[in-house]
Structure 1
Amino acid sequence: MNIGETYIGKWWLPSEEESEFQGVLTVESNGDFVLNFLKDSTSINFEKKYRNQTEFSAIVGIAKENKTGKEFSFKLLNAYITYSSISRLSNFKIKTYSVLRSKSSEFSTDLKFDKLSLRTDLIDDWFNIYGYDFSIQYQKKQNFKLQYLQPDPIKLYTSNVFDIEAFFSVGHNLTFDSEFTSKQLVFLNLYFHKPKSFEELKTNIRKIRDFFTLANGAPINIHKTVFTKEVEGKKNPNFNFDFYQKSRFKNKIPTYLQARRMLINYDLIKNSSQDVFLNWFEKYDKLKFLMNNYFGSLYNEYKYTEDKFLDFIFSIEVYHRGKYGGFNFKNDAYLKIRSRILNCIDNSSDKQWLEARLKDYTENTLQSRLKHILEINELSLDGLIENKEEFLKQVVETRHYHVHSFVKNEEFVVRDVVVLSQITRKLGIIIQAVLLSELGFEQDVINKRLKKNSPIDFN
């Protein structure tokens, strides 16, 4: 569905088919999906009927595209009323950010799906596998021969919940056109062993998107999403639903980013894709705060540099706390003495009082956490930071300045946006190294991939 498209048809609430009305669904310039009621299309007074209801889990309908006349069924998900008027029914609007569109006549809102298909930015380059054979014969006339041998599906991952396969297909324009264009497309197909609801599948979309954002070293878009309900019997076509969702993010693929410069490409993991994806799916939820802050910041183009800097710092802090704990990770002897002293106190309130005050003196600081991250990823990050002591002081003091408004060493506070942007990029590369390490890559491999992918020159 493209901006400016309109669909006119009949719409209703799943539980209230008798409340059917006519309306026009429009894809507005900002990406919103807006359903406008047609004036006098029904005798129902919607203002009165839904006076106390402003949100709808789903609205279904069947409508034709205005230009082509093609008919589709729709499910508008998590819709809400944006404006209404008693005197002018035509101004009664419903807006949504998520739409399911299908050529089928299946209107059930509790439908469960067997397959999820995704196509992302750079997915063709990521695999770098093509099935074309092109030859030219020079005779009296110039002839050419084009053959396409479809590559076999590639199994990337299998589990007791779902399998992931790469599926290759080819598309072309009409053969009698003066110019013939043929292009191979790659889709990621997720096959679920048991049917899943729409909401259950949505989480997988984000996990796949974030994996390929990490793999490519830059934020990517998902261009096509299809939910499939398989129907038994060869004569019965499957129910396919295209999923459309508003996204403010408009990806600009960096000019320096090519297949050979990706952080992770298929050639790198083709013999270990099962382990890599297993680590990704198992650790994604465990590292959810790191994932949410890091990827959330990448996909927000409107964030100030200072805010992105704080997001990356918080991501590193949360990751370190979750993996290495809150107390000084090197001082085991102190922790033993501390535990022995606390065990000697019988009164629980006194024990809590002392424990709280001891914690202030033993919990890891931001500087100690970041220093430890740099130490354990030293080979991965070799050449990234020239002066580590100065870098640590700049990060810590700048963070304190923005969070607490006061600092001990003001000379290390970075106020220049350009310099702060460079530091923020380096923090992003540190997070990339951490995630690649969690996926099981060796540090020498990580360092080589980071150097190829990064726009920042390593020393």
Structure 2
Amino acid sequence: MSNPIKSKQPIKEYNGFWWIPGDNQNQFYGNLKIDENGEIYLQLFGNTLEEREEYLELNFNILYGVCEDDIEITIFNRYRSKGLASSFFSLKSEYRYCLIGYHASIENEISFKEIHVNISEMFGWFTNYEIQLIHQKKDRFYIEDELYTDNERKISICAVNEETWKSSGRNIIMQRKGYFKFVYENPKTYYDFFEEMKGISMLFSILSRDKILIQEILIPYMKSNIPKKALLYINNQTYFRPIVERNFKSKLGREILVSSIDKVFKKLYELDESDKFILEVLSDKYLRTPGNARSEFFNIVSAFESWHRHNISEIDEENVKIYDKIILELGNKKDLVDFVGSRSILFKGVSFPKRIKFLICKDRWGLIKNDKVFTKIVVSTRNMIAHNLKKSKYVANFGELIVVQNIIHSILELEFLKSFSLNDKFINIHMQNHPIIERTVLQITSNGEMIRFYKN
């Protein structure tokens, strides 16, 4: 491959020495160039081939440099596709992407479109197109990827991947953390803003299937004629779950996620009290540790009933077939539906067992094998808890309580996300490898006698 430095005229050039933090006795002379497009080129020189090879086998993640004009350069290696990076340079180019940042007496921010790296003709040139904005503060590196901006409401959201490192001799200890950062200009009262952010944290908990909590809200005191800025961190203290991480890594995945956030925000401001209750119940699964099984069962059943009552008048073509099937099974059309010319169906005064029929038809995972027994278990258990009735033969035992609420939660989560008009690809990815479904299948198959509704 030809040397790209020859084809582009650099506008900035830095010459200096490079070393691993904590190992400044072993240095390489290096030249770093930035061209008119903001692209980076780095070459390391000096020492013998054997010494350079030994140097590159030290499993470092960060490379420091000080140039002749006293500007410090930091080369920061992220992660290879097969786990943590072993070194900054790789013969097989297995790393995901690399970041280069520089700072002088005052902190600067610079965005690079791509990176070209070369070491004295050893490995050839490597080009990377996934470079994003990087910031550096002492031993903390973080990338901000702007996901969403609402100019009307003055809201912006960034996904932040943050890394801290400590050096111990030649070993680098790396800690990772991912979170969403919100900047909100002209917020309402502190209470209203906090309640709004609670709704956002619930939605992000569902989208990322993780505990996304409000970590910090900062509303600086300013004069009334100056716009206020509220900075909110919703932080899960860990790296993003695979579903979110996978979306950030690919261009298509990022577009899907961004379009989803846009639709989520538009819908968020239209939620009524019924939707907010459903949102709270669904997010509880990720935000809180398991509590009373009966209480959680009753909450998820009530949320489903509320959703069904609130949304059932909006029927799509897929649902028409489901309702036709339900009508044929029940036989009593008069009190169930009222057909309109467009074949939309309005449910009026639908009994709870009939709502469960709809739930069963939406079981895309095939978890429910015995429809009649499942319906009796849900109805009997719900009535016993709601009306303090005596325990009957169809009331769920503890194991069935957990399984039933997991099934209802998964179906309701899918239908609720659909109401936000999210991208179908995002929905499909989100519902794949669902931890609640996987846990439920394991519970069912490990004790078939206990789970009566699963048996034919």
> TM-score when scaled to structure 2?
0.49
Q: Which has the higher contact order (CA 8 A, sep 6+)?
A: 1
> TM-score when scaled to structure 1?
0.49
